[in-house]
Chain A
Amino acid sequence: MELSLDQWVLWRWGPVVLNATILYTWLVMALLVLGSWLVTRRLSTGAKISPWQNLLEVLVAGMREQIRQISQQDPGPFLPFIGTLFVFISFSNLLTVLPGYHPPTYSLSTTAGLAICVLAAVPFYGIAQQGVRGYLSHYLKPTILMLPFHILSELTRTLALAVRLFGNVMSGALLGAILLAVVPLFFPLVMQLLELLIGQVQAFIFAVLATVYIASAAQAHEEKREALRQRPAEENQGPDKSKEDTNT
């Protein structure tokens, strides 16, 4: 049992390495894209839809709803990024039911790559929503003294994301292997099922945390716009309404 899939090298040319992690990632990507393409090439907008379309619609609608609830914003811009995070991790972990398959998330490199993507996505969405100045001013609040702490917070939470996912997936796989050695029958199967559940939970947690980080960066601008939108309404509706708003 290898500790890291990265060291399972299949092909090497100078610094370019094709290892198991990348290979399995491609496999997952191929399956996802192929499956999506097969389903979405014949979409129905009527009342009758195919079961696969129904499944994908449930998935997409569920993700949109989750993003909307967590971020309190329109899920449209976030969906491709966060949705892909969830679908990729979830599907990677789900495929562990296949023998001989190792999830790419079993490699710290993969989880680190995903975490770095989140790290980059936070300023990306923040700047897209608030502009460069608006986003950067966020680091200087409430005083300039807080700047190092903000930066530290960004880095540590990225590291935490990567390690949390990797740790959970790896522990599950290791636990399965160890239990297989200790209690050969039945019990590892239950643990495997538990592991599937944990894999899905981890995918959910990763996606939710990414949403929270990105949404909090994009929030300030949204709040300002919300305030602007509500001011005339308050003037029209009197003081009672504003009290309600501050409560909520």
Chain B
Amino acid sequence: MLINWFTVAAQIVNFLILVALLKRFLYGPIVAAMTAREGKIAAQLTEARQKRQEAEQEEASLHQKIREIEEQRQEMLTEAGRQAEAHKKELFSQARQEVEQIRQKWAASLKREKETFLQNLKQRLAQEVFAISRRTLKELGNLELEQRLTEVFLDRLRQLAPEEQTAIRESVKEAGGELLVTTAFELPEETREKIAAQVQDQFGRDLALRFATSGELLAGIELLTSSRKLAWSLGGFLDSLEEDLSQAFHELEKSEAA
């Protein structure tokens, strides 16, 4: 008999016991250990992947920052260049303005000096002429010169153009029939009467004549209505001399500017 049924039953029991024991001591722990290790490895892999991802993000953000910094640097450089250029232009224009101001000041002071010079010259000339005139008048004798001046004045009055005479007559009427005769020196009564006769003869009998003296005339005689003036004096000559000098300076300036 090859098969002993008791042994078969015993072997079945043995085998089932072995299954239970091995499940307890072999498969359970080993599978648990392997699962745990797989879990650990998976966790580590996940962690590594996460860290790698984080690192990549970090890298990307750093790259971005570097790019931004580079852009800012470029912007700042451009800005600085622009500002420097603007500043340079400003400095140039300031310098130009200053130069212009200095030039204008210089021109103004030159003009002032010229004017002062002219003024002085005029006064000196007038003084000189006055002095000469006075000396001449002194040396020639009072009466005769006055006589001559008055005669010349009356002569001129007589030779006055008819339209001018009319104009003077009109303006005398407007001024209420009053005429001012200004002389450099006090006139003698005789001369005054002569002038009055001549004036009244020419511009109307009912004229009232008033006599006055003025140093500004230097030497000469002047006939004044409210709007008209008839004069023969050294002052007038000096005025025209001043005008001539001024004209000459103007021309000088123009030629300099050109």
**A16 proximal to B (CB < 8 A):** yes
**B12 proximal to A (CB < 8 A):** yes
Q: Given B14, B22, B36, which contacts A87 in the complex, CB threshold below 8 Å? A: B22
**B22 x A36 contact (CB < 8 A):** yes
Nearest-Cβ distance from residue B16 to partner chain A, whole angstroms? 7
**B26 x A56 contact (CB < 8 A):** yes
- Determine the residue in chain B with the shortest Cβ distance to A114: B15
Knowing A40-B26, A80-B27, A104-B11, the reply to whether A29 touches B17 (Cβ < 8 A) is yes
Nearest-Cβ distance from residue A228 to partner chain B, whole angstroms? 27
- Encoded as 1 (CB less than 8 Å from any B CB) or 0, chain A from 46 to 72 comes to 100000010011001100100000000
The docked-state distance in angstroms from the alpha carbon of A114 to that of B12 is 7
Chain B residue numbers with a CB within 8 Å of A113 are: 7-12, 14-15
**A32 proximal to B (CB < 8 A):** yes
Surface stretch bound by B, among A19-27, A139-147, A229-237: A19-27
The docked-state distance in angstroms from the alpha carbon of A107 to that of B14 is 14
Nearest-Cβ distance from residue A20 to partner chain B, whole angstroms? 10
**A32 x B27 contact (CB < 8 A):** no
The docked-state distance in angstroms from the alpha carbon of A129 to that of B86 is 90
**B161 proximal to A (CB < 8 A):** no
**A43 proximal to B (CB < 8 A):** yes
- Encoded as 1 (CB less than 8 Å from any B CB) or 0, chain A from 109 to 127 comes to 1101110110000000000
Interface size on B, residues (CB 8 A): 32
Nearest-Cβ distance from residue A50 to partner chain B, whole angstroms? 11
**A21 x B11 contact (CB < 8 A):** yes
Chain A residue numbers with a CB within 8 Å of B23 are: 80, 84
Knowing A17-B6, A33-B22, A109-B4, the reply to whether A53 touches B11 (Cβ < 8 A) is no
**B11 x A45 contact (CB < 8 A):** no
- Determine the residue in chain A with the shortest Cβ distance to B38: A45
Can you report 9 A-B residue pairs in the complex whose CB atoms are below 8 A from each other? Answer: A6-B4, A29-B14, A32-B18, A33-B22, A43-B30, A45-B33, A45-B36, A113-B15, A114-B11
- Determine the residue in chain A with the shortest Cβ distance to B31: A60
Choose among A29, A61, A76 the residue with the greatest number of B CB atoms under 10 Å from its CB: A29
Choose among A36, A44, A76, A113 the residue with the greatest number of B CB atoms under 10 Å from its CB: A113
- Determine the residue in chain A with the shortest Cβ distance to B40: A45
Knowing A57-B34, A112-B8, A117-B12, the reply to whether A88 touches B18 (Cβ < 8 A) is yes
**B52 proximal to A (CB < 8 A):** no
Q: Given B8, B19, B31, B32, which contacts A116 in the complex, CB threshold below 8 Å? A: B8
**B37 proximal to A (CB < 8 A):** yes
The docked-state distance in angstroms from the alpha carbon of A42 to that of B32 is 13
- Determine the residue in chain B with the shortest Cβ distance to A80: B23
Choose among A15, A26, A36, A87 the residue with the greatest number of B CB atoms under 10 Å from its CB: A36
The docked-state distance in angstroms from the alpha carbon of A88 to that of B32 is 22
- Determine the residue in chain B with the shortest Cβ distance to A166: B2
Chain A residue numbers with a CB within 8 Å of B29 are: 40, 43
**A81 x B30 contact (CB < 8 A):** no
Choose among A3, A40, A87 the residue with the greatest number of B CB atoms under 10 Å from its CB: A40
The docked-state distance in angstroms from the alpha carbon of A113 to that of B14 is 10
**B248 proximal to A (CB < 8 A):** no
The docked-state distance in angstroms from the alpha carbon of A3 to that of B14 is 22
**B252 proximal to A (CB < 8 A):** no
Chain B residue numbers with a CB within 8 Å of A22 are: 7, 10-11, 14
The docked-state distance in angstroms from the alpha carbon of A36 to that of B11 is 21
Knowing A36-B22, A36-B25, A83-B22, the reply to whether A110 touches B11 (Cβ < 8 A) is yes
Choose among B7, B25, B36 the residue with the greatest number of A CB atoms under 10 Å from its CB: B7
**B257 proximal to A (CB < 8 A):** no
